[in-house]
Structure 1
Amino acid sequence: MTYCDNCDRYFPSWGALYQHKANSSYHAYCQDCDREFPTWKGLQQHWVQSRHHSYCERCNEHFDDDDELEDHYVNAHFWCEKCRKFFTNDYGLKEHYRQSPVHHYCASCDRHFLSSSNLQSHLNSSIHRPRDIPCRGKGCNLTFVSVSAMLLHLESGTCISGMNRRFINDKVRELDRNNIITDPSRMLTGPSHPHIEYYATGAAWNGRAYECYLCHGEHTSLKALNQHLASSRHQEKIYVCPMQTCRVRFTALSALCQHIESQRCGVHKFAAVRDTMDGVVRGMARLTF
Structure 2
Amino acid sequence: MVVWCERCDRSYRTSHALNQHVRDSPNHHECPECDFDCATWDDLLDHCRDEGCRTVCQGCNDGSGSHWEFQCDEYWDHVEDFNVCTQCERHFTSSSHLHQHRLSHRKPTYECYQCTRTFKTYGGMIIHLERRTCSNIDYTDLNKLAAECYKWNYFMDERYRDELLNEGDTVYDVAPLEKEVFLTKAWFAMYWDKNGGPPEEKYKKPNTLTEKEIS
TM-score, normalized by the shorter chain, greater than 0.5: no
TM-score normalized by the length of structure 1:
0.33
TM-score normalized by the length of structure 2:
0.42
